[in-house]
Every structure is written in C-alpha cells, then in structure tokens.
Amino acid sequence: MALDASNGFVAAGAVADLAGEGALPIFDVERVQLQFPIAADFVAAQVANNVLVLALSNGRILRIDLNRPEDIDDIDLPKKPAEVGVIRRMLLDPTASHLIVCTSLAENYYLHSQTRQLRPLARLRGVHIESIAWNPALPTASTREILIGTSDGNIYEGYIETSTEFYRREDKYLKLLQKYPDGPITGLWVDALPGRADMRRVLVSTQSTLFHLVGKVGRGHDGSGSIYSKLFESEQPVIHELPRSAAAAAAAASALVVSPDVQGASRFPGDIMPDRAFAWLSSHGVYHGKLLVNPVGSELGAKVFSEAKLLPRSQLAGSETAGRRRAATDYIDAIALTQWHVVSLVGDQVVAANRLTSSVVYDQVILKQGQKAIGLCVDIQKNTFWLFTSQEIFEIVVRDEDRHIWKIMLQMQQFDAALQYAHTPAERDAVATASGDYLVGKGLYLEAAGVYGKSRKQFEEVALTFIDNNQPDALRKYLLAKLGTYKKSSVMQRVMIASWLVEVFMAKLNSLDDTIITGAELSETLNPTQTKEQLDTVRAEYQDFVNKHKSNLDKKTVYDVISSHGREEELLFYANAVNDYNFVLSYWVQRERWAEALSVLKRQTDAEVFYRYSSVLMTHAATELVEVLMRQANLKPRNLIPALLEYDRNFKGSLSQNQAIRYLQYVVNQLSSVDSAIHNTLVSIYASHPSKDESALLAYLESQGDEPRFDPDFALRLCIQNHRVLSCAHIYTSMGQYVQAVDLALSHDQVDLAAIIADRPMSNPPLRKKLWLAVAKKVISQSNGIKTAIEFLKRCDLLKIEDLIPFFPDFVVIDDFKEEICAALEDYSRNIDGLRREMDESSQTAANIKVDIAALDHRYAIVEPGEKCYVCTLPLLSRQFFVFPCQHAFHSDCLGRKVLEQAGPAKSKRIKECQVQITKGLVSGAKRDAMIAELDSLVASACILCSEYAIRRINEPFVKDEEDKSEWAL
C-alpha cells in the first residue's frame, strides 16, 4: 500500500490573498489519495520529520515514511482494545524518533523509531496524558528529560528510553513537578534560550490560563534525577488568564501550538533570525505572539505577553461564507501555526488569518456533510500541515507565505523588517523609497540618505530634496550610496557623481577649516574640538572614497576642482592614489620642497621619473638624491650623466664631497659597470677638478688594469689639457707608449717619474736602454756634479760608462769619473778571462766526443740461443736480424714491416724505394752498399718497442678484433 497525492483535491473558490487577481492563493487544501485499503477508521494521527503515524480504531498503528510511502510498519497494541481501551491520543516528537500512545483506559505505551514493538510505561499507568514538552535538544536515542501534562492538571518530568531487557523499564523516572487546579494541561512547550545552556523557558496552557516560566534547570545526567524541579520550585510564572464562565470553559477547545522551524534560514543574518511564534487556543479566540528570547530573566514572560495579541473567535468563526454547511457554533476546534498565519479548523471549514493584520486570507469549506476532523497536525521540521478525518487525509499546502509580508511591515512602518522580506528588486525599491520618505518627513536626513541610495527614486528629486533643505552631509552620503549602485558599464553616471562628490567633499572640508580658524561653533551641538574630530572623519571618508572610486574620477577635473578650493593635502592624496607621481614631484619641486620631493621619489619604481627630476634634485639635494639612486637597481646610470655633469659644473667643494663622484664610484665598484660613458664621465670629473692632487684620478686609473673601460685617447686629451702629468704618464704607459711617457715626464722635469717609466719594459732591453739614455741625457744636463749624475744612473743595469760619455760636456775632465772608467775596464778584463775559459772547455768536449765515436765500432750485444723475434716470435737466428742496446731483437724484414706501418709518408716511401732497388738489383757496387746502409739506418734507427714508435701506439688496443679474446678472459 502507498500514499499518492498526485490526484489531490484542491478546494475550489479559495479566498484570494494580498497578491490580488491572477495570483495563486497562499493556502490550498489537497486531499491525499490513499492507495491501500483501510480496515478501520482513524482515531488519531501525527506527522513529524516526514513520518506519518496513524492509529486505527481496531488497535493497529501504521507508521509510514512519506519519502518511501510503499514501506509501512504495521504495529499492534500489546493487548486487545477491549482490555486496554481504544487509542485516544498519540504524541510524536519532532524527529519522529519517539512516540507515546495513550488509550482511553489510561494505558500508555512507548514506541521507538528503530523498533516495531510497543512497550508499556509502567510508571505512567493510569495517567491520562494530554500534552508533552519534548526536550529542546531533540535527542533520538532517548527522550531525555521531558515534561508531561495530564488531564487532572498535573505536570510530570519523565525520562524514557528504549530497552531490550525484559525486566528493565522504559520510563527511568517520573516526578511530579506542579499541579494546576484549573483543569487539564492542554499544552506544554520547552525551549532553551540562546547562549544560556542552563536556562529554560516553559509555556503551560490550561483551558483558561497561560503560564510562562524562565529559569535555571538542574544538572541531570542520563536520567539520574530531575532537572526541572529547581525551575518550578524557585521561579514564579507570569500568568495570562482570561475571564471565563464554567460553560464556556467546558465547551471550548484549548491547545498550545508553536510555529515550525524557519525555512530558508540561511538568508537571515544571525542577529535578525525571526522569532518563533506561539498561539494559545481558548474560548475567547487565539492568543498569539512571539517567543522572544531577550531579556533573559523573569521579565521575559511579561514582555512576551505584553507584545502578544488576541485574534477574536468571532473574526475566525463568526463570518458567513457561501456554501457553509457546518452546524452553528462559535468555537474553534483546532489551530496550527505557520510562519505568518494562524490556521484554524472551525467546524467543516479551514480558516487562515494573517498574524500581523488579523485579516482572514483563506476561508473554505473542506469537510463533507457530517464529517468530523480528528486532528490538525504540523510537521515542525519539514514545515508541512495536515488535516485528518476518520477516513481521509488532507495536506494544507502553503505557497510563498511571506510574499507580502514586506507590504504589511511597510504599512506598519517596520522598514528594516520589510526590507528583509522583500524578495524582488521592485519590492526592495518600494521599501527603500517609502523608508526614505518617512525619514525625510521626520527630519532624519542622514538616515534617509543611506536608504535613498538603495532605492530607484528619481536621482534629481532626492538630490534637490537635500539641497533645498541645506543638508550637504546627507547629500554626500546619498551620492556615495548611489555611486555604489551603478554598474561599471554606466561610466558617464559614475564619473559625474564621483566628480560631484569631490566638490561636495572640498566644500565640507573648507567649511570645517573655516569654523576651526574662526573658533566659532559649527552648530549648536558641535564645539571646536568636535569640529576638529569631524574634520578628521570627513578627511578619512574622502580618502576612502578616492581609494575606492579613483577609476571613476577624471584626473583633470579633479585637479581643477581641488585646486580651486586650495586643498593641498587632498590634491596630493589624490595624485598619490592614482599613481600620478609626476604631478606630485612637479608640485613639490615647483615649491622647492626638496625633502617632500625626495620622500615621493623614494617610493618610485619608474626609471623615467628619476631621469626627469634628477637634474634639479641633484642641484639642490645631491646627497639625499644619491642615497635614493643607490637603492634603485633598475636605473640606467648612463641616463643620469647630464644631471651629474650639471651638478659637477656648479660644485665648488673637494673631491671627497663631490656626490657625482660618489655615485659614479658606486656604479663602477658596486655595480661593476662596463659602460665606457660612465668611466669617461668619472675621468672627466677627476681631471677637470681645480685641485692639483692627482691621487684620486691616479688611483682610479691604476684600478682599471691593463684593460681599462674608459677611452684612453679621451682620457689622455683631458689629462694633457688639465696638466695631469702623472695621469698622462700612466695612460701612455698603459698604452705601451713608453717613449712618449718618458718624454712627457722629462719635459715637466719629472726625472724620477721618467726613471720609473723607463724601467717598465723589462722584456724589451733595447727599448729600456733607449729610455734610460734619454733619462741619462736629462740627468747629466741638469746635474751640477758629474758624480751625482753617475750615482743616479747606476739605478739602471744596462748603461755603461761608454754610453754616458757622449752626454758629458766637452770641458769635463777624466778625473771626474776615472773610477767608473777603471771599473769598466776591470769588467771587460773579467769578461775576457771568462770567454777564454769557455773556449778551453769547448775544445776538451770536442776531444771527448771523438773518443766516444771511435769506441762505437767495438760495441756488441750477446744473443742467447733460442732467443725469438719480438714481432713474429720465431727463432731470431733463422735469418738476418737487428739487436738494439735495449736488448730487443727483431728480424730485419719484421722490423722493416713494423717501421713501414708507423713511419710517416716520406720515410715510408724512401724505405720502399730502397727495398725495391736492392731486391731487384737496380744498383750495384758501392751504390748498393751505400743504399743498404741507408736502408739499415732508416729501419733500425730506433727500437720500435722503446722509442717514439711505442709512444705512437698508445691508442692501439691490447687485443685486436681479429684475435681470440678468450685467452684474456678471467
């Protein structure tokens, strides 16, 4: 058997709700078509968590999962109805895990969702249960602590859990908490207050009284004891009691219901989650309100009841409806709460009224003539609503229940709530417009500006409203809000509003500055101190606006607007925000504010900015600029040369203070620049400095080594032009032009320098002697004493006295340098003796060589019997052979073949020619003997195993491809 709602019955003539004509009604009632036979009438029904539980008059209980309606649990009472009575009531927790079944004879049973066996509740035998408040934690393994209301006005606390042990009771304990004398407990509700785990709120309803209790509960553990005793003993309830007559109380139904869980709760921020509602059905009607959670304390109940209101019974049950067939009665049979409506069962009709307006939005006859409903149930977790009769099941379908709540909230001037429940842009716009108009009417222009910014009300109308009422702050707030609503594609609108905002900000800042300067009060509520604070606030707001909307601002327009107001700080902030550093630098440079300009320059990475402003900054803040330049790795120092030269042209200090030299040295030494322009610039600054000290220039030239990066010709011209003798001499020397270097030194009477240069070409003695001769000529010509000149010239080991004599004047007598002449003659004598000894040693060596050559004719070698040729390994004495001093011996033909393999082309060719002529007898006599001797000398000139022949064979493998390699295997 299964449930099928596809052919459900929709009640005709549904009352239109606030949507107007053509819109689907909020409520419809659909009859669920049962696809299984019913053996008996329904006597009770409950729905929770998409689980439907039906109790039949024959004592059976059907448990149906609406997600799988084909699966039905058919459960029987443990005893026959005649013994325990028919099922009178069923109570199902919101999770559908726990079911309490009550019979007419006060027998109570417990059924867990994981079992199919009803277990009797022994402690509750004889108790007529009317209502249960389930644990707010919604446990599933056990009920935990629950409150049980009975027909005799008692409230018990119980703890029920399923058990498979035969002797173990399901109800762990049962404790009487309170007894109310005015009739049965028709409703119970318990919830936990947010943020207070130990606080509970309890609602208790009877026929004529509603109680509200708030307080702390005890700390029970797994059913070890009561937790609600402390609450009921220590707290006094807040009571809402209706005047009643005995007849009215007895005849009227009473019930306490709460609204289901909020659907789509994710769209509500945590701090504005809608409160759950409650409704109490009594003889006077439906008393309903919000289950507020603040303040936490005894005053909460008073606040809840003070905000609650009564929906009169006459408004729900007294109106006449076409086709009404129910019996005349003034009482409501049952109620249910949706999120925003009270659904009532009045006889054969379902009536729905809006909780906020109390207006009836649905009033329709549903039941047939003579039918009686047995229950109106709500699935709190799944937000579904059900109506049961003894034979039929109806589902009350709710469609977009909150579709017009925003209109109601708007009429009630609850604008924040109205905006929360507005679904479409048009609805939100209507709320914003109405809210803004309301605030303007109250004179709350600033608040209205924020609201208008989210609406679609005519821009001009809103702007003129603020302008006409002299509300620049509200106008600024409105423009800021409006700017955020335009899409990026609305470029013109965004630019115009942003530009207007710049003007508004400047006017406001000027007004505040004027107020501070004059010392007058801005208004009746602001003193000068507060004005300064407001100035800082507005300036921060302006800066935030620029950072956020700089892409919407036209640069030229903004510069013109801010400049017209003379707002220097704001102008520079905008320029920095849009990265217009050229403007900022130009601004500070024009005002000769070098520190501020350098501060901006430090934050730059664009090399062009440095090149553009380096000249002026180098002139006025050279030291600081060089510090900045040395921290920039992306610069091309070549592009800074004009600025460095301009700085050097006007610089009057020492070289150590010259910042151009400092930067160029950093580029050369730290960055290892090889750019000749950089080096030439450095040489130029060194050479052109008015100081006569060449040490810095000379140190730089010496550091360049043999491969200088500067242009030697250019450097030489500069040094000659500026009379840098030492530097010129160094450059000449580095270029190998020693003669020019010595001549330059001598022309400036720098004899010591010329002597040093003359000693440089150590690898070229003739040149060195020539240079020293030039030095000698200069020294002798300038010397006052011959001996002094000769002592100086002794520094060179190449000059002799005879080389110097031509340079001496004609009137010089030999006595002045006879000692040098005698020393020279003694040197010549010693050289002659040495040559004589060398000649005698050469003669003796020649005689010894002749003796050795004569002894070669008598040299011999001993060949042992059986000795083999080192090439063919055959006996050596079998044919002609050669024996070498190294004792290696070869057959003459074997040796000749090996020599041919390794000899060069020319030698091989000559060996072959000799062999052919000798073997063919082409020569005879003395020629033949000479050719044989030549052949022997060619073949046997060296041993092939010891001489250079062996060295040439170093790349040959030990084992050749054609040989057997197995002999070499390990």
Residues 6+ apart with CB under 8 A from 952: 902
What pLDDT sits at residue 792? 60
Closest C-alpha to 344, from 316, 309, 315: 316
791's tokens: 């002592």
**For the chain, which ranges sit under pLDDT 50?**
1-2, 4-22, 246-247, 270-271, 322-323, 325-328, 521-523
Report the distance separating Cα 415 and Cα 408, nearest Å: 10
Q: What is the pLDDT of residue 525?
A: 52
Give the model's pLDDT for residue 8: 32
Asked if residue 94 lies in contact with residue 138, where contact means CB atoms within 8 angstroms, the answer is yes
Is residue 509 within 8 A of residue 515, CB to CB? The reply is no
Kind and range of the H or E element at 511?
helix 491-518
* Dihedrals phi, psi of 851, to nearest 5 degrees: -60, -45
Burial class (CB in 10 A: 0-12, 13-18, 19+), 944: buried
Distance in angstroms (rounded) separating the CA atoms of residues 257 and 778: 130
pLDDT confidence of residue 327: 44
Q: How far apart are alpha carbons 929 and 231 in whole angstroms?
A: 146
Q: How many CB atoms lie within 10 A of CB 30?
A: 17
- Spell out the SS3 assignment of 404-423: CHHHHHHHCCCHHHHHHCCC
174-176-182 Cα angle (round to 5): 135
Q: Is residue 334 a contact partner of residue 325, using CB atoms and an 8 Å limit?
A: no
294 sits in the region (left: phi over 0; alpha: psi -120 to 50; else beta) called beta
Q: How many residues are present in the chain?
A: 970
The DSSP symbol for 329 reads -
Amino acid code (one letter) for 91: L
Q: Model pTM? A: 0.58
List the one residue out of 105, 111, 39, 107 whose CA is nearest residue 75: 111
Q: Are 46 and 376 in contact (CB under 8 A)?
A: no
Number of Cα atoms under 13 Å in the Cβ half of residue 750: 19
Q: How far is CA 719 from CA 649, 709, 772, in A?
A: 17, 16, 25
The token pair at 870 is: 């080192």
Please, are residues 65 and 379 in contact by the beta-carbon 8 Å criterion? no
Give the separation between CA 929 and CA 94, rounded to whole angstroms: 135
Write b or e for each residue in 177-188: b if 16 or more Cβ atoms lie within 10 A of its Cβ, otherwise e.
Answer: bbebeebbbbbb
The residue behind tokens 């109620």 is: 335
Nearest to 628 by CA among 597, 582, 583, 591: 597
What's the pLDDT score for residue 13?
30
Give the HSE-up count for residue 815: Cα atoms under 13 Å, Cβ half-sphere: 1
Buried b (16+ CB within 10 A) or exposed e, 780-807: beebeebeebbebbeebeebebeebeeb
DSSP 797-865: SS--HHHHGGGS-TT--GGGGHHHHHHHHHHHHHHHHHHHHHHHHHHHHHHHHHHHHHHHTT------T
